[in-house]
Structure 1
Amino acid sequence: MNSEVSGSAIPKVMRAVLLTGFGGIEKLQFRADVPVPHPNAGEVLIKVGACGINNTDINLRTQWYHRAASSSLTEEVGLRGVQGITDKAEEAAATWKQEALVFPRVQGAAIAGRIVAVGDAVIAGRIGERVIVDPQVRDRSLPERAQLVAYIGGERDGGFAEYVVVPAENAYAVTSHLTDAELATFPTSYDTAEEMLERARLSEGETVVVTGASGGVGTALVQLALIRKARVIAIAGQSKEARVRALGVHEFVPRESESIKAAVEAIVGSQGVDVVADVVGGPAFGDYLKILRRGGRYTTGGAIGGPVQPMDLRDLIYKDIEMYGITCPTPSTFARVISHVSSGKLRPLLDKVYPLDELAQAQTDFVKRTHVGKFVVEPTPSASGIAK
């Protein structure tokens, strides 16, 4: 292993938060004696500057991905975990590879930091690079949409720690004036959002409805849709309207509207939407299909409002609608996001920064869903706290 850390040796142990099992917030355990990982061939060791919090962290911990879970991802579920799931549950195989998780596990997929050591077959010149990490570990020999073999922070350790090892190809060099905390707002959210819009072929002048427009993926969808010069109709909680409108959306529909369908139709008319970019799901799912024009596209990367919903197949069939489900963004999509970051086209929406030892509190605040944008944790706390 080749290494260099500003004249000081890489320590033997580090601070990290361990997920000790499926369940509630109590399953997160802060430790200061976790061994620093060692990069194998083709891997790099990153000193973590910051790591963003995402729904994936909550979903995995609580077992919300399990097929036996059908409720929305409520605050209670986020704090206590999904209740009643056992190994004998019907269809016990998870929709996300929970059966591959080994505890204790360091979660955290949205990593920004600097390479401090490299394994064999990685050029030593990469030491010192400032990087953003693509959390998708792929097998490139598989079909493009089926390449995901491990998720950083899931099947392998992630960034809620001072150091993390990732495949060298997953560490993307970035040149930016942004802080590590700001850079950590981009992975998982923006690559998911960009893949959603890419698959749906959102084009200049088209109208897109973005659900959950105040969250991490939602705010990313808004910005990326505007880069594509689309007309954006955002759906989010009424209390967040001013903050969402500040992103530049063309129209805003309160999530609390008596009928989201009627509210959207009042803006664009019946079946006047080209693309629905949905990260919420829930009871409004059927209406999202109804507001699409003939030949419209529905693209989804989340269902925190409830994953199991009825569907009128006539909307799909007789309107020739296309539907896309997004789990594994392609490397080219991630590279495109990094290009937008480096060029300054994307604005980091950093709501609050927490020290690593307050990860449990950060997740407690996260599941209240009163924020706009992203929460981030730092192994070494900054003086900034809340980003204005």
Structure 2
Amino acid sequence: MSDLRYLQTNDPNRFKLRGDEPTMKAVVTTGSGGYEKLDYRDVPIPVPGPGEVLLRVLAAGVNNTEINTRLGWYSSSVEGGTEQLSETDSASEIEDGGWNASTPFPFIQGTDCCGEVVAAGEGVAQPDVGTRVLVRSCMRTNGFDSLDNLWMASDFDGAFAQYVKVPASEVFEIQCDWSDVELATIPCAYGTAENMLHRANVKAGDRVLVTGASGGVGSAVVQLAKRRGACIVAIAGSSKLDQVAGLGADQVIPRGSDLSAELQESSVDVVIDNVAGDQFGALLKLMARGGRYASSGAIAGPITTIDMRDFYLKDLTLLGCTAWDEPVFPNLISYIEKGEIRPLVAQSFELKDIATAQQEFLKKTHVGNFVLVPPQ
């Protein structure tokens, strides 16, 4: 990816209107803090440069990532779970609160994008204008032999707007009968889920334990692991167990249960865990010899303890999963087009109601994903 001008987003002047230039509605996140940092206003429509396309955003998913970035949870100074920072006590700026240390405030968040190509920059032949696409949120800017990565809406402007510009190499045409809102549930949650399953080499017959199985990523893991033929043990809130079982879980366990009483020691081949916290050590004891543990999050707390004997005596493999591997997004496109997975839309909101959407999201009473729809 030779042209990186789209990444230069830390100039606040890019949101200032000048003369009669065309404008769009967007949510500009002005800094780390509460909902007051979400500024819904008119900003200039971005202009695609060489190698870029301009998309009209049809729908944009809501994720933990946007909330955590705004609150500054990724800072090394935060040692508790994602609930440690409230919408009121994080008002002071946290300089290292983003994925790559410094967040480019002010900027436009929105990691998930279903969009329509409306313009192309120099050197772009495909996709055609009018094509409906999904954007690969995780971009391996130095190729797939390097783990270096940049994320839309964490490192540069995202999809909480009427338009967004992205590298043409990161948009994927999609042919299916899903609605725009349904497609917007896919990129971040399902990409993250498929990447963990890919890295952990989950295959038919594996017994897979999934924590946080009712959330966006967790519910995607259940579906995608079932598609691979795995036997799935899912942990979720008591009120959501029936819905999680309906996604394909073979066994459901209420969150907060004594896992050692529910499952035999060394009975699990793979753990897919975005919860972490106090239960991390217990999860390792459940893993069979040669087991694989994969994680891309730590909503219950990033600071954990480990009995190293469980790790080395059982020849376990621990996998951190942020950079998406090359097959991940093409795999998802094919699963959708073949009808092998289904969308889980919990609720949709107008873009201007982003604060309400995030407030409802944080109640954690839903199964699946929330989606924002910009003015069309």
Are residue 360 (structure 1) and residue 355 (structure 2) matched? yes
State the alpha-carbon separation in 1 of the partners of residues 176 and 87 from structure 2. 35
Are residue 79 (structure 1) and residue 87 (structure 2) matched? yes
**1:97 to 1:200, Cα distance in 2 relative to 1, 3 A:** same
**1:133 to 1:27, Cα distance in 2 relative to 1, 3 A:** same
State the alpha-carbon separation in 1 of the partners of residues 52 and 250 from structure 2. 44
**1:81 to 1:164, Cα distance in 2 relative to 1, 3 A:** farther
Tell me which residue corresponds to 1:64: 73
The SS at the match of 2:233 is strand
Contact 1:281-1:306 within 8 A present in 2 as well: yes
For residue 25 of structure 1, the aligned residue among 8, 12, 35 is 35
Contact 1:276-1:292 within 8 A present in 2 as well: yes
Contact 2:72-2:94 within 8 A present in 1 as well: no
State the alpha-carbon separation in 1 of the partners of residues 144 and 126 from structure 2. 29
Within a 5 Å distance, the mapping from 1:126-141 to structure 2 comes to 126-141=128-143
Are residue 237 (structure 1) and residue 237 (structure 2) matched? yes
State the alpha-carbon separation in 1 of the partners of residues 86 and 51 from structure 2. 36
Aligned residue identity for 2:104? V
Contact 2:277-2:304 within 8 A present in 1 as well: yes
For residue 371 of structure 1, the aligned residue among 358, 362, 366 is 366
The SS at the match of 2:224 is helix
Contact 1:51-1:376 within 8 A present in 2 as well: yes
Instruction: Give the Å deviation of 1:83.
Output: 7.1
Aligned residue identity for 1:224? L
The SS at the match of 1:331 is coil
Contact 2:270-2:293 within 8 A present in 1 as well: yes
Are residue 174 (structure 1) and residue 182 (structure 2) matched? no
State the alpha-carbon separation in 1 of the partners of residues 92 and 276 from structure 2. 23
Tell me which residue corresponds to 1:97: 100
The SS at the match of 1:188 is helix
Instruction: Give the Å deviation of 1:333.
Output: 0.8
When normalised by structure 2's length, the TM-score is 0.91
When normalised by structure 1's length, the TM-score is 0.88
Within a 5 Å distance, the mapping from 1:196-207 to structure 2 comes to 196-207=196-207
State the alpha-carbon separation in 2 of the partners of residues 125 and 84 from structure 1. 43
Contact 1:22-1:61 within 8 A present in 2 as well: yes
Contact 1:62-1:80 within 8 A present in 2 as well: no
Are residue 312 (structure 1) and residue 307 (structure 2) matched? yes
Give the unaligned 5+ runs of structure 1. Answer: 1-10, 88-92, 382-388
State the alpha-carbon separation in 1 of the partners of residues 86 and 128 from structure 2. 38
Deviation string, structure 1 residues 33-88 (Cα, Å, up to 9, x no partner): 210000000000000000000111111111101111111111x625336477755x
Instruction: Give the Å deviation of 1:328.
Output: 1.1
The SS at the match of 2:57 is strand
Tell me which residue corresponds to 1:184: 184
The SS at the match of 1:306 is coil
Number of aligned residue pairs: 356
State the alpha-carbon separation in 2 of the partners of residues 112 and 328 from structure 1. 21
Q: Which runs of 4+ in 1 moved over 2 A?
A: 76-87, 140-144
The SS at the match of 1:147 is coil
State the alpha-carbon separation in 2 of the partners of residues 86 and 132 from structure 1. 31
Aligned residue identity for 2:114? A
Contact 2:32-2:94 within 8 A present in 1 as well: no
Contact 1:281-1:304 within 8 A present in 2 as well: yes
**1:83 to 1:162, Cα distance in 2 relative to 1, 3 A:** closer
State the alpha-carbon separation in 1 of the partners of residues 89 and 138 from structure 2. 25
The sequence identity of aligned pairs, in percent, is 42
Select between 121-130 and 180-189 the one with higher mean Cα deviation: 121-130
State the alpha-carbon separation in 2 of the partners of residues 337 and 78 from structure 1. 34
Instruction: Give the Å deviation of 1:214.
Output: 0.2
Give the unaligned 5+ runs of structure 2. Answer: 1-20
Contact 2:33-2:92 within 8 A present in 1 as well: no
State the alpha-carbon separation in 1 of the partners of residues 142 and 340 from structure 2. 29
Tell me which residue corresponds to 1:260: 259
Contact 2:260-2:282 within 8 A present in 1 as well: yes
State the alpha-carbon separation in 2 of the partners of residues 123 and 153 from structure 1. 25
